[in-house]
Structure 1
Amino acid sequence: MATTAASSPQRELTPSAPTLPASIPQKRTFEDDYGPAVPSPLNPEVKPVQRVQVQAPDEGQTAMAREKRTKKDSLKKRESKGAAPGVPDSSRATPDPRMQKEIPLDEMAPLRYKLAPPKPSDFEQAKGPVFTNHHEVQDPEGRTIEFLETSEHVHNKKNYHYTHCIADPAFPSMFYYRQTEPEPFGAHFSFEDTASYIFFDRTGTHVTTDKGFRMARANVAIREGRWYWECKITRGLLKQRNEGDPESHGHVRVGFARREASLDAPVGFDAYSYGIRDVAGQRVHMSRPKDFFPAGEDLREGDVIGFEIQLPSVRLHRKVVQGTYNPAVDLAEEEQTTAPGPDAPNIVRDRIPIRFKSHIYFEKIDYHTTKELEDLMNPSPMVSSGPAGSSRPPNPHHPFAPLRTLPNSHIKVYKNGALMGVPWVDLFAFLPPASRMVQQQPAKRDRLDDGSLGYYPAVSVFRGGAAEVNFGPKFWYPPPELNEKQQDQNEDTEMVDADAGVGPSAAAAAPQLQLGKAVQKLRPVCERYDEQIVEDIVYDIIDEVDFWAEDSRKLLTGRAGRDDKVSEAPGMVPGGREEEIKELVQDD
């Protein structure tokens, strides 16, 4: 029996897919998810990724409809091409807007300040400190040592670093001022880069104090190569004690310190310095003394301790701090090459002349400690909750630049001419971004290298302890490579056997320090002082030419500080006062 359509139940229609609104966000493209974020040996340049604009579906399009995907190369093939996926060759030179927040270091130029014309006295030779007699002592050899108090000079503190300068009419585009050195000339302790209550002799090579530990750094920064210097303990642990004699006349610690190391602390107090204690000859780093000298060995009055430091080339150093260091390639290149590379260091010195009493100084922002090294010195018990990589030991490939170490770097220690061993290997890197300036300047300039970074010979004295340094060329106990005959030879003569490595005794102490056939000759620190003078002259000329080019290659006149055209030059920064440059006020 047939039923009618009216009496049969009605079937509901299947609901259709709703139309997508145009405002629904679309999924990121494949390249955004899997493109390399940082450079690598296989992908040296990170190029911008072209974002594909996904069109919103039309009104009649359903959710099942998908955008047609383009064919993509495999990850291995993209890395072999050395470019980010999805970027054609023609677009490789297009800058990534996200990367423009950081100014490339090779495009930076020193900040230029608007200054008033110099005074006639600014053209006179720079003067050293004023010496005032403080006290006299007898050294173990019976000599009378006159210790003097220095005054009328500035100290490096409050996040600023000072170097002497002088007005020179040959530098009109720099507003006449260039760097200079006062007497005494040569390598010695820096009168500006020292703690308060430090007393010197007139040559600046002898130091003491009547307070707690105070540090004095040399005026020489070691950045690469092999260098040697000595220090004699003139007041410290007694060599022979009679009944009623004190145990010591004070204490001394000797070693190396970076710019960030605290001056009001002994050498080895933090991660920025390495020191040897006079008591038991212990090695100290990050305030952790460890046995180094044989049992019963101390540093006593009359003993001479020698230091040899070895650092890799600045070329390899920059690869380490930039994260491009490849030991399989770079170490072989380092062994085969001893000459400087074609890529010169980018030294940028943001500085302004200031007046302090009868002196003219360049004032520069100094470098400060980093959180990574402070945490390494005082580790937190909650290391696992920190950022990734914070628990890793220092190494050349550490995720954090301040915790990267320099391959083929070490410090060797001698006592009275005898090699005591190698207390430290793999020293911390110091070039930016491993070191950073105090952030009191325009953005991204805290990573500049102003040429003052490096490892400085340093001595700390405590309550009457005294020490005398010898930077060469004639040493009290020269190592085998620096005997008197070799010092008188021509500089081009090899001082060591090419197959000798770093010496049999050092090889036994640290076999990993072998450098192959390209071992650099050992040199006295006094020669590094001469190199620094040459570098300062070259950098001054480069800055002068740079500013001259900014001024449309026109020489300035005597109204340099008030010239309307000069004040509109690119990079000009107002500074000082119209009638005079900045007058520094600092307590002695």
Structure 2
Amino acid sequence: MARIKLTIGRPSLDEETFVEPPRRSARNQDMSAGEDSPQREATPTGTLPVSVPQKRALEDDHQPAVSSPLNPDFKSKDDAPLARERASRAKKESLKKRESKAGSLAPDTSARATPDPKASTSKSKKEDEERLEPIRYKLPPPKSTDFEAPRGPVFIPAHIKTAPDGTKIQFNETTDHVYNKKNFHYTHCIADPAFPSSLYYRQSETEPFYPRLNFEDTSTHMFLDEGGRHITTDKGFRMAKGNVCVREGRYYWECKITSGIPKRKRSDAHAPESDNGHVRMGWARREATLDAPVGFDAYSYGLRDVKGQKVHMSRPKDFFPPGEDIREGDVIGLEINLPSESLHRKVVEGHYNPAVDLADEGNTGIERADIIRDRVPIRFKAHLYFEQIEYHSTKELEELMNPSPVISSSGGVGGASQEPYPTHAVPALRTLPHSSIKIYKNGQLIGTPFTNLLAFLPPASKPLPQVGAREGLDDGMLGYYPAVSVFRGGASEVNFGPDFWYPPPGFEDQDDEVDMIGSDQPTTTTPDQQKLRAVGERYDEQIVEDIVYDIVDEVDFWMQDGGVSGTGVTKSAGISVPSDMAGGVLGSEIKELVQEDD
């Protein structure tokens, strides 16, 4: 049979050889040989023209580097490339294939429904990732003494100081209690007969039952009165924090200088400025060290009595007007403004867009994050405490405070060489929009020394890296605490309200209807337009929150145990606790804590 050479069109320049059409099969040759009709010409084949345009996928280089104000939910190429999402589009199944899978497509309640192993596995895995639970311990049954109300520290009289108004103040040394140091945080607890499952204990408070300085959250070698409102020391700078924290909204407290720079300057120019010590006051986070003054690191914002300077990361800067300072008898008011937790979480999770989130709309229908408290009861001198791993300073903020020339020249630690801002690549270096600290002196507004405060919700705050520490968890006590530091005889008195010595302007004339914190109705007011509250109002709120968190944990454990009380952790399958973690797996007795003063 003669071969037919057929060329369609003009060949391309690089096409030098002719592509022969494929031979027909033997079956087709036999069939065609017996037919009288003329032989069909073979369909010509060859290389496709190179000029046919092909559909090009969207490349990563054409994606915007940051989200657009009109499209704030756009994900960059680091998160999920758009081209990859389009390329993985599901292929439509044929009708026959869909009919064969009719059983699995039926509702779950249908008798012909068949389970999908892949779907159930992925679903359960996703639920496990989203569902966070506190670590469980095998605890011994409580003793009869564990049901007694917790007691505060033992006060040993130290010395008496005279306030500028002539009042005598008895300062005491505190003992028989633990300090929040050595990378752990302590809160009082008590056995509760209403918790018969595996939790057994709940958080509690000690006398006096009102907002004050926290006896456990003070440095060593400090002296306090029995009411927890006066503080002094004969050592170098030490810090004490309040027993309440602020997480959102506007709050105010006062600090009176009991002993510090005298009102009248000395006639002898060569004499020291003050023999009565110094005082600093401000706001501090959990991570702020207690063995240093307020404003020492990136976790606190302070105000010096000398010249009224503001201090942050140990960098004093002029703030008070020239000739003004802080002396004995002065009352310094400190107001903090923090955005809503919803906006705060947008910032720390990287979803904040300054072009879209122009105002703080409050907590509008957004579910709060779970409060997870990994803690274990311990015993200290017949006292019961919850011990949990403390949040710790991060290397990025340490580098920001003390930049290393070698590290800074190479771009810093994870971009720490850049100044903090709300959309920083490092969560610890992200700041809160609409946040600020205002300072008052004897009721008169001096100014706003600090704005754009650093965020504190996880992952901006991280626990100390050790066995048992889990990042990304919020224990409900993260925030900014009232803090005061004293130095070598300096003394002060705190007032958390609501009866202030010098109420800020408009504080007593506020209408309760303007308070939108916690309301279900959306609000677009800025923090400065919200109601100014006393820090002391957070005391009762924190107690309510602790009660709710304890009940949630107990009910959760009770459900894991199949609704049977007193079974403990043994009936919970799949729960493993490392034996060398903080507190360990408790056996027949709760761990006894040994802590010595430095």
What TM-score does the superposition give when structure 1 sets the normalisation length?
Answer: 0.78
Distance change (3 Å), C-alpha of 1:327 and 1:386: closer
1:586 is matched with: 595
Cα contact 1:280–1:293 (8 A) shared by 2: yes
Which of 450, 461, 464 is 2:486 aligned to? 461
Which of 375, 381, 385 is 1:361 aligned to? 385
1:309 aligns with 2:336: yes
Cα contact 1:114–1:573 (8 A) shared by 2: no
Cα contact 2:212–2:229 (8 A) shared by 1: yes
Following superposition, the deviation at residue 345 of structure 1 comes to 2.5
1:143 aligns with 2:143: no
Distance change (3 Å), C-alpha of 1:539 and 1:423: same
Deviations 1:234-272 (A, max 9, x none): 000001246578632000000011111111111011111
Which of 183, 189, 202 is 1:178 aligned to? 202
1:258 is matched with: 285
Aligned counterparts of 2:74 and 2:89: Cα–Cα separation in 1: 15
Deviations 1:136-193 (A, max 9, x none): 0101000000001100000111110000000001112243101010111111111111
Cα contact 1:105–1:448 (8 A) shared by 2: no
Distance change (3 Å), C-alpha of 1:340 and 1:250: farther
1:386 is matched with: 411
1:426 is matched with: 452
Cα contact 2:199–2:553 (8 A) shared by 1: no
Cα contact 2:342–2:366 (8 A) shared by 1: no
Following superposition, the deviation at residue 296 of structure 1 comes to 1.1
Which of 278, 283, 305 is 2:310 aligned to? 283
1:111 aligns with 2:135: yes
2:432 is matched with: 406
Cα contact 1:254–1:277 (8 A) shared by 2: yes
Q: Which moved more, 1:539-548 or 1:323-332?
A: 323-332
Cα contact 1:153–1:192 (8 A) shared by 2: yes
Which of 280, 291, 298 is 1:271 aligned to? 298
Aligned counterparts of 2:78 and 2:264: Cα–Cα separation in 1: 70
1:565 aligns with 2:571: yes
Aligned counterparts of 2:89 and 2:491: Cα–Cα separation in 1: 67
Distance change (3 Å), C-alpha of 1:547 and 1:220: same
Aligned counterparts of 1:90 and 1:314: Cα–Cα separation in 2: 42
Deviations 1:59-89 (A, max 9, x none): xxxxxxxxxxxxxxxx8xx48xxx8232226
Which of 464, 478, 498 is 1:438 aligned to? 464
Aligned Cα root-mean-square deviation (Å): 3.4
Distance change (3 Å), C-alpha of 1:409 and 1:295: same
Aligned counterparts of 1:272 and 1:494: Cα–Cα separation in 2: 28
Paired residue type of 1:465: G
Aligned counterparts of 1:310 and 1:471: Cα–Cα separation in 2: 16
* Number of residue equivalences: 497
Cα contact 2:60–2:77 (8 A) shared by 1: no
Distance change (3 Å), C-alpha of 1:201 and 1:37: farther
Paired residue type of 2:292: A
1:54 is matched with: none
Q: Which moved more, 1:371-380 or 1:466-475?
A: 371-380
Cα contact 1:253–1:278 (8 A) shared by 2: yes
Q: Which structure 2 residue ranges, 5 or more long, are not aligned?
A: 1-15, 17-55, 93-117, 517-523
Other structure's SS at 1:457 match: strand
Distance change (3 Å), C-alpha of 1:461 and 1:104: farther
Larger Rg: 1 or 2? 2
Where do residues 482-497 of structure 1 align in structure 2 (5 Å cutoff)? 482-483=507-508, 486=510, 491-492=512-513
Aligned counterparts of 2:165 and 2:432: Cα–Cα separation in 1: 40
Which of 544, 562, 582 is 2:554 aligned to? 544
Distance change (3 Å), C-alpha of 1:439 and 1:103: farther
Paired residue type of 2:542: Q
1:57 is matched with: none
Paired residue type of 2:302: G
Following superposition, the deviation at residue 438 of structure 1 comes to 0.8
Aligned counterparts of 1:231 and 1:293: Cα–Cα separation in 2: 17
Where do residues 62-461 of structure 1 align in structure 2 (5 Å cutoff)? 78=82, 84-88=85-89, 106-241=130-265, 247-248=273-274, 249-332=276-359, 334=360, 337-338=361-362, 341-382=365-406, 383-386=408-411, 389-442=415-468, 445-461=470-486
Q: Which moved more, 1:164-173 or 1:208-217?
A: 164-173
Aligned counterparts of 1:106 and 1:492: Cα–Cα separation in 2: 37
Following superposition, the deviation at residue 338 of structure 1 comes to 4.3
Distance change (3 Å), C-alpha of 1:135 and 1:551: same
Where do residues 24-63 of structure 1 align in structure 2 (5 Å cutoff)? 41-43=72-74
